[in-house]
Amino acid sequence: MENNLNTNRRGFIKYAALAGTFSLSIPEIVKAAIGNVDKKISLKEGDIILFQGDSITDSYRKREELRFNDGPAMGTGYAFLSTSQLLYHHPGKGLKIYNRGISGHKTFHLIERWERDIIDLKPSVLSILVGVNDFWVKNNGVQGTLKSFRENYQILLDKTRQNLPDTKLIIGEPFGVTGIKGKHEFWDTEFKDYQKVVAELGRSFDAVFIPYQKVFDKAQQSAPGVYWTRDGVHPTIAGSQLMAEAWLSAIKS
């Protein structure tokens, strides 16, 4: 572990020296990766916004705290940072924002709790980021498949449309950051198929799609992967801000 940390540190210093003359700010990175977002969500007074997903969304939130607009309940990641900006810029709208992400969860876990954590809360805007665990985490020695991932994700979106037809959807692309020594260096063509499924479902359900892979790929032109994520999956502070900036691009200011 120490050798990996030293290697990452030396690599970062070398990378920073080379990239320093042309590095972009986080807003510039997102703009370069995404461009102008034509489809944006307008917020209305009293809107309920709900973040759903796995550990990237969970981000150490206190799960016993179920309140809206609450710091400990929102965790420390992109959901918290996005929430702080929404509440800052829209003080008169009376927004209620929740985080229901749970570390380690796959699409089938979300199905099991969709009624309680989504339908019962009746969000006006629902943001979903899930898929990395479906690809690489085994449960009881069993690996999921692309087919089961597509079917499960479809169930989540069908349940939402059937019960909450007016809910606006934001769907985040699962991502993997390469070049991190000794970590998750397996973002191969199979994982790209999972990303394609998410993009296709986003289009078919008229969701705003956040291309996080493209955002993180662009970010590595300014700083190496270890600056943006700890292990190729879980964002650092900078990576969380990068994700928040990308997420907020879906909201009409």
pLDDT digits (tens, 9 = 90+) for 47-65: 999 999 999 999 999 999 9
The label of the residue with tokens 């990996």 reads: 4
pLDDT at 190: 87
From residue 233, alpha-carbon distances to 114, 170, 212 in Å are 24, 20, 11
Measured torsion, CA atoms of residues 137, 139, 142, 148, in degrees rounded to the nearest 10: -70
CA–CA separation, 236 vs 241, rounded Å?
A: 9
User: 17: buried, middle or exposed (CB in 10 Å: 19+, 13-18, 0-12)?
Assistant: exposed
pLDDT, residue 141, reads 61
Sites in the chain below the pLDDT cut of 70: 1-22, 138-142, 182-186, 188
**pLDDT score recorded for residue 37:** 81
Report the pLDDT value the prediction gives residue 1, as an integer from 0 to 100.
45
At residue 56, the pLDDT reads 98
Q: Note the pLDDT tens digit of each residue in 72-91.
A: 999 999 999 999 999 999 99
- Please check whether residue 167 is in contact with residue 160, taking contact to mean a CB–CB distance below 8 angstroms: yes
Name the DSSP class of 121.
G
pLDDT at residue 180, as a whole number = 83
Q: Write down the pLDDT at residue 2.
A: 47
Amino acid at 3: N
**Given the DSSP bridges, would you call strands 96-99 and 125-129 parallel, antiparallel or unpaired?**
unpaired
CATH code assigned to 2-248? 3.40.50.1110
Query: What pLDDT does 183 receive?
Result: 63
Q: Where are the domains of the chain?
A: 2-248
Residue length of the chain: 253
